Each structure stands twice: as C-alpha cells, then as structure tokens.
Structure 1
Amino acid sequence: MDLLSIKDPSFLKTMNKEELQQLSQEIREFLIEKLSWTGGHIGPNLGVVELTIALHKCFDSPKDKIIWDVGHQSYVHKILTGRADQFGSLRQYKGLCGFPKMSESEHDVWETGHSSTSLSAAMGMAIARDVKKVDSHVIPVIGDGALTGGMALEALNHIGDSQTNMTVILNDNEMSIAPNVGALNNVLGKLRTAGKYQWVKDELEYLLKKIPAVGGKLASTAERVKDSLKYLLVSGMFFEEMGFTYLGPIDGHNFDELLENIQYAKKMEGPVLLHVITKKGKGFSPAEDDKVGTWHGTGPYKMETGDLIKPVNTAPAWSALVSETVRKLAREDQRIVAVTPAMPVGSKLEKFAEEFPERMFDVGIAEQHAATMAAGLATQGMKPFLAIYSTFLQRAYDQVLHDICRQNLNVFIGIDRAGLVGADGETHQGVFDIAFLRSLPNMVIMMPKDENEGQHMVYTANQYDEGPIAMRFPRGNGYGVPMDEQFRKIPIGSWEVLKEGSTATILTFGTTIPMSMEAAYQLEKQGVSVQVINARFIKPLDHEMLEKVLSTGTPILTVEEAVLEGGFGSAVLEFAHDHGYSNTSIGRIGIPDRFIEHGSVKELWNEIGLTSDHIVNKIKSMLPAKKKRA
C-alpha cells in the first residue's frame, strides 16, 4: 500500500494476516531506504515492525495509550499514525523528531529519550484513567535492557502490588545498545527457552477443578501442584512473583501469536506482562548480524551494502581518545578500573575491556548504581573512571552529590557528549552538567581545548587525589592536532591566554574556543584588540587570572556551549560581585533557558546565537562608544 497515504491506524482493523505481512515488508523497505539518507535508530525499529502493527490493530490509539520506553523505536508507530511523508526530514533541523513528540501527533502520549520511564508513566496514566472512570487500555512497551533500570523495577513493584489493569509489552531482543548484562538478563534468557507457560497453567487449573475433592489432603496437594507449575516450567518466575500474569515468550514476528496473545491479555484483570521475542535489525542483514550495537543508531549508510558513510574527519573520536588514554595509564596503575552504564561501545571501552577484563565493569542501564559503585571502589583505594554521557549523568545526580562529592572520593567522571549532540535532540543535549555539578562541594570540572590537552587532562585526573574530578568532552571527532608523547599534569584551576588583547576579553573553553578565536581575529581587523582565555577549569576558576582581567575594567564576555542559568558565565558574575568588581561589564553567550530541539550542531549554534558573528556583535555592543569600530 501507499505508506504516504496513511492518516491514522484505523485501516489496520480490516486487514488479514497476509496483508499485514505485506505491510510489514513495505515498512521495512521504506525504513531501510529513508534511513540510509538521514541515519537514525534503524536496528530497534526494524525489530518492532510486526509488534507495532499488532498493537495498533488490537488497540485504539490515542484513546488507548501506547507508551514507548526510550522512544527510539517509534518510527513504525510514526508511519502508522500518518507521518511517513515526513521521513525525509527525520532528525533534521526543524524536521521529524527521532523520538515521540506530543506536538507532532495525538498518538504520541509520552515523550522520552531516556530508558526505563514507560512503566512509571503508564502507572500514572492508568491511575488517572481509573480515577476518571474512563474505559481505555494502557500499554507500555519496554525493552529487556531498559528493564534493568532501577526506576522500571520500582514501577513493576508498584504495578504488581496495586494490581492495576495494564498490559506491559516486554520487547526482548537481548540488546540495548550493547549486549545486555546482569542477573535479570539471565532470568530472561531462561524464559526465552522455557516455552509457553500461561496456556499450560490454565489447562492444569481446568483439570484440577475436575478432580473431586476427597478431603483436604488431595485438595491441598492439587493446589501445591498448580502453584509450583511455574517453577517446573520456567526457572525463576520473576514476573508472576511480582504480581503480573505472565504470557509468553512469543515470537514477535509472528502475527498469529501476537494477535492471539494481545487479545487474550486485553481480557484479563490486573497487570499482564506479554513477553515478546524480537530480532533487532530484522530484515536488513547488516543490522541483524550486529553483535556489538553498531546498528543501534547510525548516520547515513549505503543501502545496498550496509557500509556506513563516515565523515571525512580522520581525527580520533573524543570517546576513543579518552578511553585509550585511560587504557595507557591503566598499564602502569593497577588501581584504575572502568565503569559504564551499558555504554561500552559508545564510550569506546572495547579495547580497555579486552586488555583488562577484570577491571572493566558494564553494569547495564543503571546510572545510579554505576555512580555509587564507583564511589565504593574509590573508598578502597581504586581509581575508578566512570564513563557516562552528559544526558545520562543527570540520572545519577543524587549519587554524585551524596555518595561521591559528600564523601570527597577520588572518582574520575568522563562526561561524554557534553554540549549539543545534534540529531538526537532535546532529550540528549548535554548542556546541563555544568549547572548541576558546579554547585557541588569538592567537585572539579574541566574541559580541554583539543585532543592534546585532553590526554593531559585525563592524566591530571588520574594523578588527582583530592576528591572527584570531571572532564567534559564533546560528541564526534577532535581536530587532528599533534599529540605530545609524554603526559603532563595541568595545575588544577589554571587557565591559559590563547591570544593577547587590551580592549576586551573572551573567557571560553572547549568547543567554543575556535569560534571565539575567529571572532577575536575579526575584531582585530576592525581595530578592536580582544584577549582570548582558555578557561579550561570551570571549577575551580583561576582566581589569579580572573582578578587580573577584572582589574583592567575592560568588558568581559563568557562563551559556553552549556546552559547560561547556573553555568560558567554565572560563576564569573558571582566572582566579580563577591570580589567588588560589580561595575565591570560582563556579558554571557550560551544556551538559552529552553530545551534545544534536533538538527545539526552548526544549525543549532546559529539558531541560539553561538557563532563568531554573534560574538563579534556582542563584544562591539559592550564597548564604550569611542572604542567601537564600523
């Protein structure tokens, strides 16, 4: 059928199995073609084609609430709800979002880009439904990887205890981004191979009711046989003990099984968990054969071969630079261990894991646990490197505050994807970490100007024994600068002058240094002499250099790829006020007080005014009239 003509999912109600299978094939071909141009989360979406179709056939969205955990697997849902014609703009500036977005469609009832939120959201929606006495279904779809998140387990506990009517779809593809780990993953592994449970249990209950009651002994024996059947059929019936009716496991690519079990679940009282086995990347062999997570989310690729179209930049990726430096240091320092919450591939820790398997710990999607575990390691004299994306560090805020900073423990936090990340959009922009870390006592925050300074900062962090230290670094590749052969320690809290100037000063760091330097040279041509300082330590500030700059009385502009509220510029303003420089003109450029949507980083910089031209105009507006130039 013409996917571009789809307006809503109602057309599915009259389709037979053969038509549904044909639709599945057409959707897969559509996704493989469109994503070859735009990139995106192809693996997760190819794996849920039949499941998404079956859910929309059996339920009535948006009256029935289908809630996607993480949300990166909602592309098929978007097609079925009338957005196929927008896929040419997927994850592009002002285009279709790669995650559910309420402003796009009434069928997107929950927005998310982080895992493990769907069950809690579903419980809230189910309670609201019951209070309002509305007749509708609530269907959270959660992956086996997301199920390891503490928030998901908290919600399971509440849902099972309250016996709320809900159909939980466990989409089990044995992967999150990387292969899943942990005891719960092992439980699911046993369930995958155990065969169907609910049908056999129901049959036994029927037969037991036919047995005449001959005294209490036979009756109690029969009851024990019935209750223990789950342990006979499935080792460790985790979900039944949590209060759920467990259905499955079923083939997530078989419409007969999907439709039969979903309809069965709809009729049951209380919470039901439908365990669906899917194949990530199904229908596209490069994605199907992926064992490490390469095809979880990609940039553009060649549809015919599956070859990824890589950017021209041959400089090392920031993640690789940092992890490789940690690996080099670990050869000499037995205290170094690496901890990651399910991101060994994204954080480029595969080589560290190969060389030091006993010192590499992937704890699954469990950021809070990762942070406190790192703290525990530090109490025993180890030097843990906690590799975590900025957007996911937000989830471990209390653990960083309470367990790491309060105890002043030597944990090195590598804050990956700091700053704007582009296509993943507002749920993943790493722009809040400075604001929420800067207020924490004992925390050191730094960001390098290039890869060479980056390797020295990693070395500095390993040498630092005065408490927690965090290094921010951006998504993507470095600049390809020459690298020193020997590591050197950078004095904590020290800044450096990159360009001398006498009329105004730019204080900046990391990714905004190149645009600041360009702006300074533009102003130089206009007769305005601007000093540029690499404020590489965001906390602590370089008090000596800052006092020197403030004492000149010339304008100061802070430039940062982070939120202005509570950010680096705020720290400079606080320092100026506290030290009696309140008359000094201080301007700030950074991320405004709103969430930044998806698009290329350069497009987003231009939108929010984070460019060399904006810096030039801002500096000129701050100068006394007689010093301005045309």
Structure 2
Amino acid sequence: MPRLEEIRGPEDLRALSPAAARALAPQIRRLLVDTCTANGGHLGPNLGVVELSIALHRVFDSPRDRILWDTGHQAYVHKILTGRTAALATLRRTDGLSGYPSRAESEHDVIENSHASTSLSWADGLARANALLGRDDRAVVAVLGDGALTGGMAWEALNNIAAAPERPVVMVLNDNGRSYAPTAGAVAGHLAELRAGDAPQTLFESLGLRYVGPVDGHDIEAVEAALREAVALRRPVVVHCVTEKGRGHLPAEQDDTDRFHAVRAASARTPGGAPSWTSVFGGELAELAADRPDVVAVTAAMLDPTGLGDFARRHPERVIDVGIAEQHAVTAAAGLALGGMHPVVALYSTFLNRAFDQLLMDVALHRAPVTFVLDRAGVTGDDGPSHNGMWDLSLLNLVPGLRLAAPRDAATLRRALREAVACDDGPTALRFPKGSSGADIPAVEVHAGLDVLRRGGRPDILLVSVGAMAATCLDVAGLLAERGVGVTVVDPRWIKPVPPGLTGLATDHLLVATVEDSGRVGGAGASVAQALSEAGSDLPVHVFGIPQRFLEHGSRADLLEAGGLTPRRLAHALLEALPSGWRARRGAAASLAVG
C-alpha cells in the first residue's frame, strides 16, 4: 500500500490501483486531524471530501483540466494530492500554506476562491474561452458545496451554462446538507428528495442540464465512474455526490453544532479571560430583543459564527437564515424595515462587500432603519487576503445617511448596539474584530461627545483611536510621554459622521493622527482629515491604517506589525511627524529612537 508522502502529484495518484487509492483515505484523514488540531482550520469540510478529491484527481488531468473549488476552504485534500503534503504542517501560519487555494503556491490552484457561489461563473467563462479558442482537449470542473447553491450568483451562472448545451462544464455538487449549519431554503429540500429518490425530475434537468447521481461521495470508484460518464456526455452536467461532513473523525461525526467546521489552533484555546466580541454582541442582542419585539436577526448561513445562537434559542420566530445570500439578506432586511420591524443583519465584514449595492440603493436610499453588525472587521489573520475585513470603513463612508460605530471594548459594544437599534430614520452599522474583547477601557472624561481616554498635559498630538485600536493608542501615548510629548487620546465611538467636537478639540494641538485597523484609503482617518479641512483647519493629519493591498495570511500581531500598527512603530512615526520647531518651542529633548 502506498504512503501518502509518496504522492508528489496527481500523476502518482492516477498510477495507483483502486485498492491502493482507497488506502490513502485514512492517511489523509489522520493528517487533516493532526494539522487542524495544531494549526486550526476547516476540518469538517475537508474530512468530507477525501474520496471525492481523490476521484477528481484520478479522472481529470490537473492543471490542464481546470478544477475550481467553491468554497476554497474544502481544498486541503486537493493541496495534499498536488504535492503539498509536507508543507501542510505550515497551514495558515505566517509564510506557510494558505487555508484556501493560492495561485502563488501551485499551478493546480486555479482560482483563489474563498467566497461562496462564484465557481459556476468562473466555469462558464473558462468554457466560453475554450470554445472561442478551439480548445476541446480539456475539461472545466466546478466543485461546489450544496450551501453554495443558496447564493444567487450560482443561479445566474446556471442560467447561462444551461443555455449552451454545446459547451461542456462538469458541475460536481458536494452535498452534505450543510454550509455551517443545515443548508437553508427550498433547494436544500429538493436535494433531500433527490437523495431519497423521491423526486420525479430534478430541478437541474428542468433547466436543460444533464444530471448524474446521487452518487456515494465516499466511494472512490463510484465517483470516478460518474465523472467519466459526465465527461463523455460532452455537455453541461451536474454530478450529485452525497458526502458526510466530518467523515472519519468520530467527534465531528457525532457533533450537530458544526464545532468542527473550523477548529481553532491548539495554542489559541485558552480557557477563561475576556469574552469574545462575537459573544458580547450575541448576548446583548438577545437581551435587547426581549424588550423590543420588533427586533429581528438576519444571518447569511452563519448563525453561530456571528453570535446569533443565543438569540435563536430565545427568539426562534425572529431569526432568519437566508443561506449564503448576502445580497438577498440586505434587501430583505429593507423589506422587514418597511414592514415595521428593526432588522439586525449580522455578517462577517468581508462578506458585506458582496451586498454593497443593496446597502446603498435598497437600504440607504430608502432611509430604512436596518442595523448591520460586522464581525471580523480589520485584520483577521490566518484566513488570508479574502477574509481580512479591511474594506468596510472605505465602503460605508460612501453611504449617505449611514451612522457607523467602532466600539473599543465590550462595554462600548453593548452601548453602541442599543443606540443603533434605537435609530429609526436610517441605517446604522457596528464593526468589531475577531477574538477577545479584552479589558474594558473607561473614558477619563467626555468632551463634546468624544470619549477622552487620556489627557497628556501639553497638547502636542491629538491621537484619534478607532475601535479596537484603543489599547494600542494608549500605549503609544505612554511611550511618547516618556519623551516629553503631550498626547490626548480620544475615541469618537461613532465615527460616521465625524463628531463636530473633534474639530474643535483638534485646534489646541500641533497635529492630529488617526489609528485604525482598516484600509487607509477612504477610512476613518480620511473622514477626519476631510472634516478638519471643511472646518478651515490646516492642521496636519497623519492617517495610520492597513496598507491598501491584499494581506497574506498570518497572525493578527504579525500583520499589524507589518503594517506599522504597533505602539513602538507608531510612536516613532509620530515623533518624526512633529513640526521641526517643536523641541525649541517645548524645550524638550525627546529622542526619535523608540525602542
């Protein structure tokens, strides 16, 4: 029997006998469990696609045949089978393997697909390109989870693919009945009928597509036969593979809460301590809803990951899971608001990107009282470039009439949520990062609507802290105080619109600096600079934030360090930014060397 480390690429896999190929499956599962336990990662989805991935690489000749993964978090086995077994030990670590397909890693990773429901559109485009260029010697294969079929983009693509029976596309439907939680909507019910053999005709056949299945997705030879049948048809085909999420790992198989969908690294599992931002939000919303029967929670297939589990248990009739369909979630929320409810739409920050038009034209244009709660805002770390929530401030600052809060701790999150839900004349949004909410940071005073976190004696620098960067800004102020620099640290809490009191307070200082864990272009700092300019101020404004580029995966600490957002690097930059005559005027002898 072969050893997994002997598989250096798909050609080695195709040379194996069926029995030898089957022998790889338990080895792969052991490696997945060991790696995800140590590093964190999407364990459940990958345990479920072991045999399916083996069959795909035995039938198709990657990378000539294009295999597209939707979503990419189910591609760990694909990485193993394409020569990255040894490197899997570095999964999701800084400078290691990405948790999603990465074109920088391998020619077998065709698209860096980590947002769901997009693979069929990619496949349609690739199939059209093959037809236009006369390339009839290669296949286009899209592997999508059943949860991806809850996204509207998948159906837009199916509408086009089905209209061209002469263009072959193999659509492998990995049906495990779940995205995070059980898959939502009528399509899930139809797939259940297909699994049970109760449907007289498939929805896919009604569209003019061929259908092969259902196939046991854990039977390598059965999947291979179905894939070869699909290729031979030379037209668009859906191959329906039924799999079990978490297959082969008893704790995952017996768990129905999806704790094993994505597991945390062993080093990150620390008992006790401050609650997570997510749990603080979820607990407060459930409490708030007990007093507000008009509050409705909306999720896009991520009930527990966005903290809505407690809400669902206490108010089950007022929680709505629309599936992986952020655009629908936002416009449906506008409809709920029109009908007299106050919807709270809970999303990861990065997924709001997909529904910006709906937020702008359906919610804001109609001044609908909808509250958006954006988890995983800023630097999220090991999930990689698609999941760092660094775009929300830039996008939300474009939206007329929207009010935006960035709480600095658990106490201000609870307060901001209640203030947001109290707004009945337009949309509101809250953003917070991944992880622990940390210790509460009390204000030493409130000045013109701003929370003042520190007064630094002489007013040299006004340091505007945005959200979770408060502790960092206080550390910066402490370092600068040691060098004779007076720093006032303020937290606006509500950063859109810019509080009027901020411009008045700024006039007492030599310069203004803003610190945010968001993109520098169009973010909170840019808004502060614009507000000061419009108020007639010529004070220099220094904006510190995430560099405007896609950030690779790594720890939050590593990425903040790379972006210059650590106390010592910020303090050094601010010392250099002080006016040239500062020492003479202040009589100070501060050194520019910090640390």
Look up the SS of the partner of 2:306 in the other structure: coil
Please say which of residues 554-563 and 496-505 is displaced more in the overlay.
496-505
Pairwise CA distance, 1:55: 0.6
| 2:153 match | 151
Q: Secondary structure at the match of 1:597?
A: coil
* 1:226-249, Cα deviation, whole Å (9 max, x unpaired): xxxxxxx62452000112100000
| 1:185 matches 2:188 | yes
> For the residues of structure 1 that align with 2:307 and 2:476, how far apart are their CA atoms?
34
Question: Is 1:116 the counterpart of 2:117 in the alignment?
Answer: yes
Checking the alignment, whether the CA contact within 8 Å between 1:68 and 1:118 is kept in structure 2 is yes
1:554 aligns with 2:510: yes
| Structure 1 counterpart of 2:209, from 235, 244, 257 | 244
Provide the C-alpha distance between the structure 2 equivalents of 1:553 and 1:534, rounded to a whole number of angstroms.
Answer: 16
Q: Aligned AA for 1:516?
A: C
Question: What CA distance in whole angstroms lies between the structure 2 residues aligned with 1:576 and 1:510?
Answer: 20
Aligned mates of 2:51, 2:509 — CA distance in 1? 66
Separation in structure 1 between the aligned mates of residue 379 and residue 353 of structure 2, nearest angstrom: 15
2:248 is matched with which residue: 283, 294, 299?
283
1:68 paired residue number: 69
CA distance in 2, matches of 1:627, 1:56: 66
Aligned mates of 1:155, 1:125 — CA distance in 2: 12
Decide whether the 8 Å contact of 1:179 with 1:293 is kept in 2.
no
CA distance in structure 2 between the partners assigned to 1:192 and 1:427 by the alignment = 33
Alpha-carbon distance in structure 1 between the residues aligned to 2:159 and 2:239: 17
Amino acid at match of 1:40: G
1:545-599 per-residue CA deviation (whole Å, 9 max, x = no partner) reads: 22331x2351111111000011111111212222222x31111110111111111
Cα distance in structure 1, aligned partners of 2:411 and 2:36? 35
Q: Contact between 2:37 and 2:263, CA under 8 Å: does it hold in 1?
A: no
Segment of structure 1 superposing worse, 311-320 or 523-532? 311-320
Which residue of the partner structure matches residue 30 of structure 2?
29
Helix, strand or coil at the partner of 2:163: helix
How has the CA–CA distance of structure 1 residues 498 and 518 changed in structure 2, closer, same or farther, with 3 Å as cutoff?
A: same
Spell out the pairing of 1:202-281 with structure 2 (5 A cutoff): 234-281=199-246
Q: Is the contact between residue 421 and residue 429 of structure 1 (CA under 8 Å) also seen in structure 2?
A: yes
Quote the residue 2:527 is aligned against: 571
Which of residues 158, 168, 178 is equivalent to 1:175?
178
Paired residues, number: 578
The 5 Å alignment of 1:8-19 reads 8-19=9-20
Matches of 1:478 and 1:587, distance apart in 2: 27
Query: Is 1:599 paired with 2:564?
Result: no
Structure 2 CA distance, aligned partners of 1:284 and 1:494?
53
Segment drifting more, 71-80 vs 499-508? 499-508
What displacement does 1:299 show?
1.0
Q: Retained in 2: the 8 A contact 1:585–1:622?
A: no
Instruction: Write the letter of the residue equivalent to 1:86.
Output: A
The percentage of counterpart residues that share the same residue type is: 39
* Aligned-partner Cα distance in 1 for 2:442–2:513: 30
Contact 1:51–1:253 (CA under 8 A) maintained in structure 2: yes
- Kept in 1, the 8 Å contact 2:3–2:24? The answer is no
Distance change (3 Å), C-alpha of 1:627 and 1:313:
farther
> Which aligned pairs between 1:93-112 and structure 2 lie closer than 5 A?
93-112=94-113
1:41-56 paired onto structure 2 within 5 Å = 41-56=42-57
One-letter amino acid of the structure 2 residue matched with residue 380 of structure 1: G
Q: Is the 8 A contact 2:103 2:109 kept in 1?
A: yes
SS in structure 1 at match of 2:85: helix
Change (3 A) 1:470 1:236: farther
Residue 381 of structure 1: aligned partner: 340
Corresponding residue number in structure 1 for 2:587: none
Match of 1:322 among 278, 281, 286: 281
| Aligned counterpart, 2:575 | 620
TM-score by length of 1: 0.89
Q: Distance in 2 between matches of 1:624 and 1:440?
A: 35
The question of 1:460 aligning with 2:463 is answered: no
Query: Do residues 417 (structure 1) and 382 (structure 2) align?
Result: no
Q: What is the correspondence of 1:539-550 to structure 2 with a 5 Å cutoff? A: 539-549=496-506
1:446 corresponds to 2:405:
yes
1:511 corresponds to which residue? 468
8 Å Cα contact 2:407/2:416 also seen in 1: yes
Match of residue 366 from structure 1:
325
Distance across 2 between alignment mates of 1:310 and 1:41: 16
Match of 1:391 among 320, 342, 350: 350
CA contact (8 A) 1:497 1:533 kept: yes
Q: Secondary structure at the match of 1:470?
A: strand
> In structure 1, how many angstroms separate the alpha carbons of the residues matched to 2:462 and 2:4?
56
| Within-5 A mapping of 1:481-560 | 481=440, 494-501=449-456, 502-549=459-506, 551-552=507-508, 554-560=510-516
CA contact (8 A) 2:297 2:345 kept: yes
Contact 1:528-1:627 at 8 Å conserved across structures? no
Structure 1 letter corresponding to 2:546: I
Partner of 2:265: helix, strand, or coil? coil
**Gap change, CA 1:5 and 1:18, over 3 Å in 2:** closer
Q: CA deviation at 1:49?
A: 0.6
Q: Give the superposition deviation at 1:4.
A: 3.2
Stretches of structure 2 lacking an aligned partner (at least 5 in a row): 584-589
User: Once the 2 structures are TM-superposed, how far is the Cα of residue 7 of structure 1 from its aligned partner?
Assistant: 2.5
Contact 2:69–2:142 (Cα < 8 Å) also in 1: yes
Q: Contact between 1:313 and 1:477, CA under 8 Å: does it hold in 2?
A: no
Q: Is the 8 A contact 2:7 2:13 kept in 1?
A: no
Which stretch of the first structure deviates more once superposed, 334-343 or 349-358?
349-358
Instruction: Classify the secondary structure of the residue corresponding to 1:161.
Output: coil
Which entry has the higher C-alpha Rg, 1 or 2? 1
Paired residue type of 1:512: M
Structure 2 contact 65–139 (Cα < 8 Å) conserved? yes
CA RMSD of aligned residues (A): 1.7
CA distance in 1, matches of 2:206, 2:414: 50
2:442 and 2:453 in contact (8 A); partners too: no
Partner of 1:205 in structure 2? none
Which of 293, 309, 313 is residue 354 of structure 1 equivalent to? 313
User: CA offset at residue 414 of structure 1?
Assistant: 0.7
Cα gap change, 1:352/1:593 in structure 2, threshold over 3 Å: closer, same or farther? same
Deviations 1:281-327 (A, max 9, x none): 111011122212211111135xxxxxx96224522221111121111
Structure 1: unaligned runs, 5 residues or longer: 195-232, 302-307, 485-489
Which amino acid is 1:293 matched to? D
- 1:378 touches 1:411 (CA, 8 Å); kept in 2? yes
Identify which range, 254-263 or 133-142, moves more after superposition.
254-263
- Greater shift, 493-502 or 80-89, is seen at 493-502
Deviations 1:498-540 (A, max 9, x none): 1113111111121111111001011111111111111212201
Q: Is 2:117–2:153's contact at 8 Å kept on the other side of the alignment?
A: yes
SS of 1:162's partner is: coil
Q: Which amino acid aligns with 2:564?
A: G
Residue identity in the other structure for 1:141: V
- Residue in 2 that maps onto 1:305: none
Per the TM alignment, residue 331 of structure 1 is displaced from its structure 2 partner at its CA by 1.0
Q: Relative to structure 1, is the Cα distance of residues 236 and 265 closer, same or farther in structure 2, using a 3 angstrom cutoff? A: closer
Could you tell me which residue of structure 1 aligns to residue 586 of structure 2?
none
SS of equivalent residue, structure 2 residue 359: helix
Describe the shift of the 1:362–1:429 C-alpha distance in structure 2 as closer, same or farther (beyond 3 A). Answer: same
Verify: 1:338 aligned to 2:297, yes or no.
yes
Match of 1:292 among 246, 257, 264: 257
SS at structure 2 position matched to 1:185: helix
Contact between 1:494 and 1:537, CA under 8 Å: does it hold in 2?
no
Letter in 2 for 1:575: A
Alpha-carbon distance in structure 2 between the residues aligned to 1:406 and 1:522: 45
In the aligned structure 1, how far is the partner of 2:330 from the partner of 2:442?
31
